[in-house]
């Protein structure tokens, strides 16, 4: 998402290595890919309201009509199941699940093509996890975007992912359709992961 400079490797999006993009093209490219972090509350500025931070994303990465930014924030909050009044709340005034919904709203503000969820449910209670997963899958279908889940929770991965990539030390060691990879792993590392998850 452009938060850090790549130290090695490449990331291709539509045939373009996005680690080499700069200037205005970089901003436009990275707007296509958004991220939802594990620590949703920590991803927000504690001194600013949720609405202000979602609005800032709209103003920085979109070409909005400023008069409509407030309405767009309300619409985004509604889409993730939060009342419009939450726009005036600060992160510490919200539960973990509510903060994660607000973080998803912020990510959706720019109509991403790819939403990366980095352990986005691992810090939540099981019942809240299920609701957040259902929300993400609903948004994926409604917006036609791709979801990329980064997770150590193999049962969760097996229930939501069509394809899976197993990584070790920053390298892909196995990939394919989730059902095949998890049922018939080729690599010993994958087999050990599956044993430890059972």
Q: Whole-prediction pTM value?
A: 0.88
* Digit-coded pLDDT (tens) for 95-133: 999 999 999 999 999 899 999 999 988 888 888 988 999
* Digit-coded pLDDT (tens) for 186-198: 999 999 988 887 6
Environment class of 196 (CB within 10 Å of its CB; exposed 0-12, middle 13-18, buried 19+): exposed
CATH architecture for segment(s) 32-151: 3-Layer(aba) Sandwich (3.40)
pLDDT at 2: 58
**Among 115, 121, 128, which Cα is nearest to 157's?**
121
pLDDT at 82: 97
Do 58 and 110 form a contact (C-beta atoms < 8 A)?
yes
pLDDT at 66: 55
**Among 62, 66, 70, 136, which Cα is nearest to 104's?**
136
pLDDT at 65: 60
Q: Where in the chain is the domain with CATH 3.40.50.300?
A: 32-151
Minimum mean pLDDT among 1-5, 53-57, 166-170: which range? 1-5
Q: Name, in order, each residue with C-beta under 8 angstroms of 102's C-beta and a sequence gap of 6 or more.
A: 40, 44, 50, 54, 77, 80, 82, 86, 91, 94
Do 37 and 106 form a contact (C-beta atoms < 8 A)?
no
């Amino acid at each position: 998402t452009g938060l850090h400079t790549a130290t090695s490797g490449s990331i291709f999006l539509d045939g373009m290595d996005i680690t080499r993009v700069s200037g205005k093209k970089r901003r436009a490219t990275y707007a296509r890919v958004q991220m939802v972090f594990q620590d949703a509350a920590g991803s927000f500025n504690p001194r600013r309201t949720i609405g202000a931070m979602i609005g800032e994303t709209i103003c920085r990465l979109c070409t909005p009509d400023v008069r409509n930014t407030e309405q767009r924030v309300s619409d985004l909050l509604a889409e993730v199941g939060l009342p419009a009044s939450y726009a005036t709340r600060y992160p510490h005034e919200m539960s973990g699940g509510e903060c994660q919904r607000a973080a998803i709203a912020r990510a959706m503000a720019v109509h991403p093509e790819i939403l990366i969820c980095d352990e986005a449910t691992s810090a939540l209670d099981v019942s809240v996890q299920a609701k957040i997963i259902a929300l993400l899958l609903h948004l994926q279908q409604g917006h036609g975007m791709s979801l990329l889940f980064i997770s150590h929770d193999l049962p969760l991965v097996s229930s939501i992912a069509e394809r899976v990539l197993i990584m070790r030390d920053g390298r892909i060691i196995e990939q394919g359709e989730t059902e095949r990879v998890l049922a018939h792993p080729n690599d010993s590392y994958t087999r050990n992961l599956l044993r430890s998850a059972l």
